A and B are shown apart, each in its own frame.
Chain A
Amino acid sequence: MKLKNTDELNALKAQSLKLIETRRVAESVSTKDAQGLVRHVMVCGGPGCHSSGSPRIAELLEEELERLGLSEKVKIFQPGCFGFCEKGPMIEIHPDNTTYCEVSAEDVPTIVEEHFIKGNQVERLLYMDPNTKERFSSNIPFYDGQLRIALRNVGNIAPENILEYIAADGYQALAKVLFGMTPLEVIDVLKESGLRGRGGAGFPTGTKWEFTRKSQADQRYIICNADEGDPGAFMDRSVLEGDPHSVLEAMLIAGAAIGASEGFIYVRAEYPAAIHRLQVAIAQARAYGILGTAILGSDLTFDIQLKYGAGAFVCGEETALIHSIEGTRGEPTVKPPFPAQKGLWGKPTCVNNVETLANIPPIILKGAEWFSAVGTEKSKGTKVFALAGKVNNVGLVEVPMGTTLRKIIFDIGGGIKQHKTFKAAQTGGPSGGCIPTKYLDTPIDYESLTAIGSMMGSGGLIVLDEEDCMVNIAKFFQEFTMDESCGRCTACRVGTKRLHEILTKITEGKGTLEDLDNMEKLCHIIKDTALCGLGQSAPNPILSTLKYFRDEYIAHIVDKTCPAGVCKSLLRYEITDKCVGCTLCVKKCPMNCITGSLKKIHVIDQERCLKCGACMEQCRVVGAIIHH
């Protein structure tokens, strides 16, 4: 079934449209009117929903519909991540455009009976705004302000069926590039669009492709960086699992524009589901002749191989990644020469992030102007963020560049969990920094975030509240970078360890002001002398928290307290006069250091107290046991 030319591709597309048209009606019908029509039920297969049982829900739905003879009328699909992880497992029903949240296996019979047979929406499963208590069957507020370009197909198509991708304009951009554009024109479009690397550094993609093309060689390579090592980031994972063909198409376009016939996708080993989806996608693309020789009747030869990571964060750095593909330790090498000049096996290599690649097919199809109309002056297009932490709506959001943090966290994100107070937002993972309240109205783009001491990073956005200790967070990131340091250069290998030691001292109440001074100096030395991006950015969380939360460091050092109440060694548990003398804590204390008899106020022996907090957890009287 190899497609021999674009006519065959277009014919296949026309044929396949019926696979997805139910999901794309111009005006949705009401649930009652939808009875009798063929329905599509999309059961979110994103990582969160999947782990919460969505495959079982899909299975049960199929069984129940089969049992009632409705399988021909109601079809079940398991696409990629809808993005609203907090409310999963989620399902979306078309053409009546109804979304159900927090669905459980027990809800299946009700959904089938009420929704499909009787034509009534199941009210209690509709999304409810926590403030207004209003129910929404569609147009959920979470999606207001979002613009899904990289995620355009995620959640809408069955990722293991190439025909659905083709129906959704899949490989049309490739056809345009092969027969309607020269390689230089493709590169120009990318440059004009303003697309910048979404892995974190933000290098202009068109320029990177141009440099790689200009390097003379008999072979060039395209690499997709799917290592997504930032803890708390799952944007790339969603694209790989939900729309794998978009990455393949982009790599093919890169091959045509740059002059390469081999591509590699380097996927981290922690993503077995993504690996599986990619394997299926590559096999299908080969079967249809989209990977191989004489692609679509052109003279392009291109094939893609998968390579696996093995648990090394540093392999997200492009030179380390290249060495990993070469079969060696993932130790970065000095740049220049850049991979565009001398990369994999010494040949010019273009390394692009998954999200960057996912943007390429629509840019080719819709044009540079369309893309550059979105975003800010220097940061065009959208960015996908993995919103997590102490926020109500944890999930995946894609917003135009220039959207403020306030909008993302408080509107889309639904504000801080349990009505606590916002303290800071951490962007850029272990290489980034924190953003305090005063910068909440900063429009997000590459430059604005760097200006306030953070960085865009890959898109992880962790929200912190009053109960998070900024010193402890800095220590957490430092532990991570220390563990992941490849060990090659002294600055990082030794430096990150020393920084971690100092932070540990501070959180244990043994730090001095001299330590603080040394730590700051060391941060700058490491930034200046480390060999690669990992080391150069490792001190960022410390410098950033020092800039905005110096008072917390001082409190730990001088006052020997932890204002957020996190650092155990600095906590002091005390029993107040609200104590009713119930002896619950006396029995619970693992050190037996609470004295007190019935109806008498209890007392904690501070010398022996472990500060484990077990007493406070047991106590039934509000305010009887406090810590500070």
Chain B
Amino acid sequence: MCNSNSPNEFAQKLDDYIDTLPYKKENLIGILHYAQEIYGYLPDNVQWHIAQKLDIPSAKVYGVVSFYSFFTMIPRGDHVVNVCMGTACFVRGADKLKDELENQLKIKAGETTPDNLFTLETLRCVGACGLAPVMIVDGKVHGRMHEAQEINEVLAKYRPEN
């Protein structure tokens, strides 16, 4: 998420994207994905903007945003740490991995660290079951995460140099 862009630039970018679509209302989910990519999350004003542009009730937009777990109305940290809670990972200790991450980051799943560096969330299966248990940081998969030390090392890569 680029912080140097002003809200107006984001809005313009979003509008330009929506204008390219032949069907607008039906592409609400695609539009929300795009909006979340540029804004980082989907606060009220962004939802309202999209509702206006698509000429649909903002309650409808809210209904979709609140339904799908990919969409968030709360800003996420700089790095999103996901723990896969799929069956294969669960059976190979995903619970312990989640506990250890909560321990090391000092937050619970669903929360963001006070310094806004990490958001911890759970995911349902990314299909890398051969590497269970799996954690994903910013889309990059880290497998066979059994040891606290390994987890620490992965997180350390994302911490700014002191």
Contact = CB atoms under 8 A, between A and B. Distances in A.
Contacts of A429: 87
Given A328-B60, A329-B64, A486-B67, A395 B130 contact: yes
Interface string B73-116: 00000000000011111111000000000000000000000000
Interface string B132-161: 101000011111000000000000000000
A48 B124 contact: no
B69 A310 contact: yes
B98 to A, nearest CB: 13
B71 interface: yes
A230 B90 CA distance: 13
Interface in A326-357: 326-330
A310 B32 contact: yes
A48 B68 contact: no
Contact of A389 (B26, B68, B88): B88
Residues of B in contact with A, size category = 35 or more
Contacts of B64: 327-329
A436 interface: no
B131 interface: yes
A51 B130 CA distance: 10
Nearest to A462: B87
A394 B130 contact: yes
B127 A269 contact: no
Contacts, number: 136
A246 interface: no
B124 A307 contact: no
A325 B92 CA distance: 35
A326 B30 CA distance: 11
Contacts of B33: 269, 308, 310
Interface of B: 25-30, 32-33, 60, 63-64, 67-71, 85-92, 123-132, 134, 139-143
24 contacts: A47-B127, A47-B141, A48-B128, A51-B142, A51-B143, A52-B131, A230-B125, A233-B125, A234-B128, A234-B129, A270-B123, A270-B126, A272-B139, A307-B29, A308-B30, A310-B69, A312-B69, A324-B29, A329-B63, A386-B129, A394-B88, A394-B129, A462-B87, A477-B87
Given A270-B124, A389-B87, 18 more contacts: A51-B128, A52-B131, A86-B130, A231-B85, A231-B87, A271-B127, A308-B30, A324-B29, A327-B28, A327-B29, A388-B129, A394-B130, A460-B87, A462-B88, A462-B91, A464-B91, A476-B87, A477-B87
**Closest CB pairs A-B (n = 3):** A85-B130, A231-B86, A234-B127
